[in-house]
Amino acid sequence: AQSVTQLGSHVSVSEGALVLLRCNYSSSVPPYLFWYVQYPNQGLQLLLKYTSAATLVKGINGFEAEFKKSETSFHLTKPSAHMSDAAEYFCAVSENTGNQFYFGTGTSLTVIP
Amino acid sequence: EPEVTQTPSHQVTQMGQEVILRCVPISNHLYFYWYRQILGQKVEFLVSFYNNEISEKSEIFDDQFSVERPDGSNFTLKIRSTKLEDSAMYFCASGGQGGPYEQYFGPGTRLTVT
């Protein structure tokens, strides 16, 4: 069975500081991994995805994530936080094309001016 | 840029009533999904639909729920007799063409059952 754990339901960073949002997964097969962002009263927007190509994945808005098989992790980072990055971030895993996504519980990012 | 759309944005209904949530997936996508997010909780999978039939469903998706793709463009979720615990944000998603792995999500329909 697949599952996703996001450590830290709330993360606060200062504007310009490093953003690190953690995601660990469990999967019986090599997974596909995703990060989505949800702004207030909006849907889920894809930030980036890992689909068994390069382990360091670059996404939109300056975010990137690194797939580490040995640690079963897919942490999301951004070198310098902007106020506009304040949102809810969800990590998700899927085993195959067309299969359901399993989501983590989400991390709410606050950016302090 | 193509996007998934959902209507209505907010639906209020009384317990025991039937509701239909509507979605227009991105055209030429092959896979369609419904998820829900109860306030303050994580996004949960309900059902996936491919080739005009349900391909996967969760234990949440019981006999009270049904999905349909009536006309080749819309994708609907019907809840036959709503319960208080059905109150949630319902997201439609589509995928499988052009970008076969990711799922594109709509803005959601907030369902409130009173």
pLDDT in tens, A67-106: 998 999 999 999 999 999 999 999 999 877 667 889 999 9
Q: Among A11-25, A87-101, B43-57, name the most confident range.
A: A11-25
A54: pLDDT strictly greater than 90: no
Beta bridge partners, A17, equal: none
Helix (H, G, I), strand (E, B) or coil at B84: helix
**Å between A43 CA and nearest CA of chain B:** 4
Of A34, A100, A103, the CB nearest to B42: A103
What are the two backbone dihedrals, phi and then psi, of residue A61, each rounded to the nearest 5 degrees?
60, 25
pLDDT attached to residue A2: 78
B67: pLDDT strictly greater than 60: yes
Q: Is residue B43 less than 8 Å (CB to CB) from chain A?
A: yes
Contact A92, B105 (CB under 8 A): no
Contacts of A33 in chain B (CB under 8 A): none
B78: pLDDT strictly greater than 90: yes
pLDDT attached to residue B41: 85
Residue of B nearest to A43 (CA): B107
User: Within 13 Å and on the Cβ side, how many CA atoms surround B32?
Assistant: 27
How far apart, in Å, are the Cα atoms of B62 and each of B34, B58, B65, B84, B114? 13, 8, 6, 15, 21
Dist CA A98 CA A104 (whole Å): 19
pLDDT attached to residue A1: 67
